[in-house]
Structure formats: C-alpha cells, structure tokens
Amino acid sequence: MIHSILFFNTIHHFPTHFLRLRHHTPTAAVTVDNRRGPTISNVYHLISFAYTSLNHLLRLAADHFSSFSPFMLDEYPSIASFAMVELVVPEAVKYMLQKNSGSFSKSNSFRTPQQALRNLNCCSQISTGQQTSPVVFPEKRTKNKASRRTEASGNGDDFKKTKREEHRIDIGGEQSDLLGYEVISGKLVLDKRKTIKPTEEPNSTETTHLDTVDAKLTSKALVWGSYVLSLDDVVSVSYNNGLRHFIVHSYPIKKPSYSLSCFSKSGRSRKDFCFLASTPDEAFQWVTGFADQHCFVNYSSHPLVSSKKQDSEILASDFSYLHVKSKHPPRMLVILNPRSGRGRSGKVFHNLVEPIFKLAGFKLEVVKTTSAGHARNLAFNVDFSTCPDGIICVGGDGIINEVLNGLLCRDNQKEAISIPIGIIPAGSDNSLVWTVLGVRDPVSAALAIVKGGLTATDVFAVEWVQTGVIHFGMTVSYFGFISDVLELSERYQKRFGPLRYFVAGVLKFLCLPKYSYELEYLPASREENLERQAEADKDIADMSDLYTDVMRSHTDGIPRASSLSSIDSIMTPGRSGVEMDTCSTEPSDYVRAIDPKSKRLSSSRSTVTSDPEVIHPQPSLSSASNWPRTRSKSRTDKGWSGLTSQDPTRSSWGNIGANDKEDISSTLSDPGPIWDAEPKWDTEPNWEMENPIELPGPPEDVENGERRETGVRMETNWVVKKGKFLGILACNHSCKTVQSLSSQVVAPKAEHDDDTLDLLLVHGSGRLRLLRFFLLLQMGRHLSLPYVEYVKVKSVKLKPGKSTHNGCGIDGELFRISGQVVASLLPDQCRLIGRPPSSNAK
C-alpha cells in the first residue's frame, strides 16, 4: 500500500481530489511507501509553505516508521508559485493522520519542526546549511549575508518597547530558485490592525497590535516570520514620504480550510500589510526595493507637508526621499460589454477589478458598449496615443474578437496588431484568456495585467474567397454541428444566459442534420514541426526579452511603453459604423501566403474572383516584422505582405459580415419548433448528386477501428477530403472551456504561438457518433476515436455542400459562408497582456 501526500501548484486549485488535479503540475511529493520505507522529497522546500500540516506529517512519520531516508529529488520541477503551494491530503493519508492523532498529542505535541526533522535524520542537512531551498523556521536565525541589511537601531526604541515573539527566517541561499535573490532584509514591525491609513503612523506605544519580525524582500517574495507573500500577488506599495511605515497591497490566494475544501472555492482577496521600519531611511530603502522589483509605488508627500504644517526639518529630509523610482502608471482604454455574462460584467469590473487597477495607479478610460459592433468601432477609430499601453476588454470571447477585428482593419494595421490587449473574463466563456494565460477569474486576470508582460499569440484570418471578406480570430473557427448550436443559442440568450449553449446543443442534437463539406488542408511539415520544437526550446531562454515590461513600438515612431504607460482621453463611443462596415483588406496574399510554394498551389486551385481594386502592392517584406514570433520564424519572410485598409467605398467585407449577421437573426426571428425549422435533420444530402466530385466521407467501418484513406486525395502538399463531417474545427490554441466541469481541452496539442492551426475533423454523421465524441471529449479521450482526425495545418480551405447549413463560428461570432473560405494564420502575432503560468515558473 502506498500513501502519498502531494503538493501542487495551486494557481487554479480545487484541491479536493487527485484526479481533479491531474492537469496540475506536481511540485513536490512526500511518499510513504510501506514496502520500501518512507521517502521524502523536497520537504525542505515546502516546510515554510505548509508548515503546520507538514510538521504534523513529519511527526506522524517519525512515530510511525522506525527509519527515514529523506533525500532530495531533482525530477520535480521547482516550485514556481511557492506562495500558492498547498498541501493536499488524500483520503488515505487523512485516514492515517486520524488514526495516529492520539499518539501525536501525547508524545509530540511540543516538538519543534527541527526536532521532528532530527527524528527523520534531516538535521545534518539543515544544520550544515546544505539545502539550497528556502526553509522558514521560527527558531532559526538567518546566517545569510544580506545584499542590503537594515538594522533595528537608531530610532529603534519602538522595537525594544515592543516585547513580542520574534520570528526568524532562513530562506536559504541568496540565489535560491524559489525566492530569487535577496533585495533587502532587516527587522520590521508588522501592524496587525485591519484598517490602516497610509498617512497614519502606527502608534508604537500600543504594542498589542505590533509584531517585530525578521523580514526579507527577494526578487520573488516578501518573507517575514513564516509568511511568504509572492510578489506576483502584490499590487502596489503605498508610501508617504518621510514616514517610517509603508503598506503593501496584495491579493493572495485565499485557501479554503481543509475541512471545507470540498465545498468552498478558493479565490483571491485583498490583504494590506502595514510595516513600520525603525527609521524613515529604512522605510525608504524597503520601498525602493519594491520599486526595483517592478511594484508600483503610490508615493505621496509627507502628510505634514501636504497639510501645510511644514517645518524645515521635514523639508530637508524630503529631498532625499523624492525619487522612488516606480514604473509609470499605464494608460489604457477599457472596453466593457455590459451585456456579457448575463449583464454582470459591469458589476464585476467596478467592484472587483477597478480597485486593483486604481491601487496599481492605472489611468483608465472606460467605455461601455451600446450595441454589437461598438467595440469594433472603438478599436478601429481609437487614437493610440490616448491608450499607448493597450486596450482592456471586459466581457467574453466575443468582445475580444470585435476589438481584434477593429484593430486589424485599420490603415496602420502593423501598428494596430502590436497594441497590447488585456482581457478581464466576465462573459459566458473566456476560452482565450483561460487557455493562454491560465486565468479565469476577473481578479487574477486584473493582477496579470497589473504585473504586465506580454504574450505573443497567433492570429488567424478566415477569408471568404469569392468576396474577399476577411474575419480574424484568436481562438477557433468551426463548422458543422457546433456552428449550428451557436446559431440556435442566440435565441436563448436572454432566457438561459451561459446555459444557452447547453440547451441549444441538446435541441440541435435531437434534430441533427447531416453536414457535407469539401475540404483541403495544407499540413505543417514534419521538418517544420521539429524546427519549431527546437525554436520553442530556444525561446524558453529568450522569453525574458519578450516579456519585458518596457516595450517600444517600432512602428510610426510612436514610443509605446508597455510597462503600460499613457492615456489621456479616449475617442467617443459613438458609432462610426460607416467606416467600419466598409473596412476591407487585401485578403488573398496574406491569407494564402503561407509560403510561396503553397501560395502558388493554393491560388492555382482556387476560384478567386479578384477585384483589381482591392489588390495593393505591399511594402518590402523586410520592414514588415515588428514583433518576433515566439516559436517559429516570423512569417514575414515567407511571403507576408500585410494588410491594408481599403477605401471604404470599394470594399465589402464589413458589409458582408454585417449582412451575414442580419441574415442569421432574421432566420432566428422565426421561432417555431426546431424540428419543423430543420427540414434536413433526417434527410441525407446527396453529396454525389449535388457536388459532382467522387470520394465520399470515411466508410462506416472506421468506427470499428479501421481508418481507411479512401476519400483522401493528395495533391502535392494539399490534402483533399470530401464527405460528411459532424464537425470541423480549426483551433489556434488548445481551447479549454471555462464552463466545463471537467477541464476539457478541444485541441490538446495546440499552442497559441506555434504558427499552426490544429485541425480537428469529426468524420461522418449520426447522433451516436456525436454523443461518443462529446462524452470522450469530457474525458480528454476524443482523439482516440477512429472517426476523429487531428492534424496540424498551415491552412484550411473549406466549402459546404449545397444542402449543408452554412454557418461558421469564429471565436463565438456567427457568420454565413457562401462558396469557399480559407483559414490561415497571419505572419504577425498580437500581444496579450500577462504571462502564462509556465513563464512565471521560469
């Protein structure tokens, strides 16, 4: 029998059961194996974080087993978000703890952790300081040389007066992986009162709420006593010039108690910590230390100065405090869809998110959308100099898609794509930010934006070949059953809110039509995959350059501080639909120009009716690159010629998009029973008759495990398939869904920056197949189905059969396709504000 206690990185934790945690990264493990004897790995890393629980466990282990052979394991990745590490006690160990709790209280209740460790033969490592990981022990004094050491001297009377229990810390070597390097250390007094005004000096004669602590600020955390506050959780520091105290504003993850962990949801909540240094000089040093670590400092003048009670002494000392170098407050445009998430997005923003941005000194211009299309107009018309640090979208994936399309439709498209986009998830589903940045609650998303950094993300374009209309997306484009569900769901938006997709899905399932498509795709070559992998490995090292806090635009000479800095005013929310609706691009070149060869192949096969008016020569390719791809080579050297905004009167893509939507809504305005409204649901379209091309879909026997390649015709690199498909999805990232109970992932091999689309083909027709697909999707095993094909592609061309519904979903927005559409990636990537969790770990 093996009992295990695992420690998990709990950024998104619901730590109630192993199975639920299978997607999380185990960061360390304590294993008790009755056959081989107990082993402990990375225990030292974790003592400070799960001190009480681990101490209990160690005592248990010491009593329970005669010998212990602790050792460090290198096989586990280092604990990235150490402040968020949480002890998970599975049922077996809980049982063991309960069983032994009696003996603990008798024999070990007063043992210190060191004593417990001594019993486990751990002492030698601790006393000799062999461990390189941070360990926090209440009794142990630090022996580290501090890079900056403040002492409680001089004005330290308060420290003497406050006779309290002192917490000592030992956080291991200065270059510890977990806490980074040391910035400053020394004694501080922690004011434990709940409400503290920044201008109010703690009263040192009232000692009850004061606690002297040994504190240390490192490049990754503020540590005092046994408390570790990750700098990732720190929003800002408030400091009044010339005073001895400063307040650290943070949003750490609130952990539910173990007994309630099954029911209560963990989340972030605000915690302010007020520290008193022994002298104003020391307080200033601490605050400068935070500023050095890119924490925003709310810096105010001395309260006496501001209240005009100036005296010469204060003024003299003021001079030395005037320059706390903090990052510039960012200026950004917030586009908020008040209809998102059942109309709660406004409340979410103003109650939860705005206070965080205020603490971090952001200068925001908030615009609420008044109708569909408004966000696109805003992004299309906004003067970037008013929001140089980016645009924050508050809502669902739909509003982000509108903003993206507004940006990419501009004349200065190269500059527009470089405008950072922040996302506050407040809609029905927020797959993009959840998948790419790993956040799904508004507070964590706001924190990610405050922390800054940029994540390059691929953008795909779907081109309507006959008309030249283009629509952009960052998540997924889909055809077949799911686009029909999207269409139907709009009927139920008011009644069911986010549940509307489920309701529409069930109804559509009951009256399932058959979908036929003619499909061509250009697979990403194996060599390219290998090259991409090699580049990805290399990029891991280069990432720090990419995620720099200070970004400068290389376009049009506009300096863009992406330390997130600058806005004054924002354009009016008034609709300028005329311009938007008539925005167009020269589509074919960049949509098809995957590489010159494929472009030739593609265009030779396509039936593009090119309007000479929309063909524009593009600037030289070499100047096109303004944003390095994170994984693969920039496609600027592969034939990308960029987009240009067209004369509104000459172009049609906006109009067509709008008309498409109108068409759909008019269809939907006729409610009627669904089974009446869907005449084709049980009729088989005669593909061969309607589309005089042979090659039906995969034969029925594929369901029995044999996948035949009948129906597949290779033309050079393009693969052609025709027949029935339940669904076709071209995914830009792995597409996690926030709604799903199980964290289902549609395209498990997709990466948001890998320069490929992941094509998922669900061949065939029929409810049984569809049901099996969705059931296995919940378990993450849908790719094992014989009628599911998964391939990484550079480009996809698709044409619906004549009797097939022609809906097309792009990031949750619905369109109609007529004729052929082509989906491909753009050569340039856009930038999301925030860093994925994996990059934080590095």
Ligand X SMILES: Nc1ncnc2c1ncn2[C@@H]1O[C@H](COP(=O)(O)OP(=O)(O)OP(=O)(O)O)[C@@H](O)[C@H]1O
Which parts of 418-521 fold into alpha helices (H)?
A: 431-437, 442-451, 481-489, 493-496, 500-510
Stretch that binds ligand X, among 167-175, 182-190, 369-377, 514-522 (CB under 6 A): 369-377
Q: Which is nearer to ligand X, 374 or 724 (CB)?
A: 374
CB 471 → ligand X: shortest distance, Å?
12
Q: Is 397 a catalytic residue?
A: yes
Catalytic residue among 232, 397, 754, 755: 397
Task: Please tell me whether residue 572 binds ligand X under the rule CB under 6 A.
Answer: no
Distance of CA 85 to the CA centre of its chain: 19
372's tokens: 């569909």
Q: Which is nearer to ligand X, 120 or 738 (CB)?
A: 738
Residues that contact ligand X, how many (by CB under 6 A): 22
Contacts for 247 with CB less than 8 Å, ≥ 6 apart? 196, 198, 237, 238, 239, 272, 273, 274, 275
CB 383 → ligand X: shortest distance, Å?
21
Task: Please tell me whether residue 396 binds ligand X under the rule CB under 6 A.
Answer: yes
Determine the Cα–Cα distance for residues 336 and 367; give it in Å rounded to an integer: 6
Question: Tokens 């686009």 sit at which residue?
Answer: 483
CA dihedral 412, 413, 414, 415 (to 10 degrees): 60
Per-residue contact track with ligand X, 374 to 393, x per CB under 6 A?
xx------------------
CB 332 → ligand X: shortest distance, Å?
18
Cβ count near 373 (within 10 Å): 21
Cβ count near 88 (within 10 Å): 24
Q: Which is nearer to ligand X, 374 or 451 (CB)?
A: 374
CB 76 → ligand X: shortest distance, Å?
37
Per-residue contact track with ligand X, 798 to 817, x per CB under 6 A?
--------------xx----
> Which 429-458 residues touch ligand X, going by CB under 6 A?
429
CB 78 → ligand X: shortest distance, Å?
36
Q: Which is nearer to ligand X, 403 or 793 (CB)?
A: 403
Per-residue contact track with ligand X, 326 to 345, x per CB under 6 A?
-----------xxxxx----
Q: List 789's β-bridge partners, or say none.
A: 761
Determine the Cα–Cα distance for residues 235 and 227; give it in Å rounded to an integer: 17
Angle at 502 between CA 498 and CA 503, to 5 degrees: 100
Task: Please tell me whether residue 398 binds ligand X under the rule CB under 6 A.
Answer: yes
Determine the Cα–Cα distance for residues 461 and 587; give it in Å rounded to an integer: 9
CB 394 → ligand X: shortest distance, Å?
8
Residue 283 φ/ψ region, left for φ over 0, alpha for ψ in the -120 to 50 degree band, beta for the rest: alpha
Q: List 185's β-bridge partners, or say none.
A: 149, 216
Task: Please tell me whether residue 487 binds ligand X under the rule CB under 6 A.
Answer: no
Burial class from Cβ neighbours inside 10 Å (0-12, 13-18, 19+) for residue 497 reads: middle
Stretch that binds ligand X, among 133-141, 365-373, 449-457, 476-484 (CB under 6 A): 365-373
Q: Which residue's Cβ has the minimum distance to ligand X? A: 396
Parallel/antiparallel/unpaired status of strands 712-715 and 516-523 = unpaired
Burial 683-695 (b: 16+ CB within 10 A, else e): eebebeeebeeeb
| Near ligand X by CB under 6 A: residue from 150, 162, 293, 369 | 369
What's the 3-state SS for 194-215?
CCCCCCCCCCCCCCCCEEEEEE
Task: Please tell me whether residue 371 binds ligand X under the rule CB under 6 A.
Answer: yes
| Near ligand X by CB under 6 A: residue from 81, 250, 428, 563 | 428
Per-residue contact track with ligand X, 502 to 541, x per CB under 6 A?
----------------------------------------
Q: Which is nearer to ligand X, 746 or 788 (CB)?
A: 746
| Near ligand X by CB under 6 A: residue from 191, 233, 402, 751 | 402
CB 444 → ligand X: shortest distance, Å?
18
Q: Which is nearer to ligand X, 185 or 377 (CB)?
A: 377
Q: Are 633 and 827 in contact (CB under 8 A)?
A: no
Q: Are 799 and 510 in contact (CB under 8 A)?
A: no
CB 267 → ligand X: shortest distance, Å?
20
Q: Which is nearer to ligand X, 372 or 783 (CB)?
A: 372
Contacts with ligand X, residue ranges (CB under 6 A): 337-341, 369-372, 374-375, 395-399, 402, 427-429, 812-813
Residues designated catalytic: 397
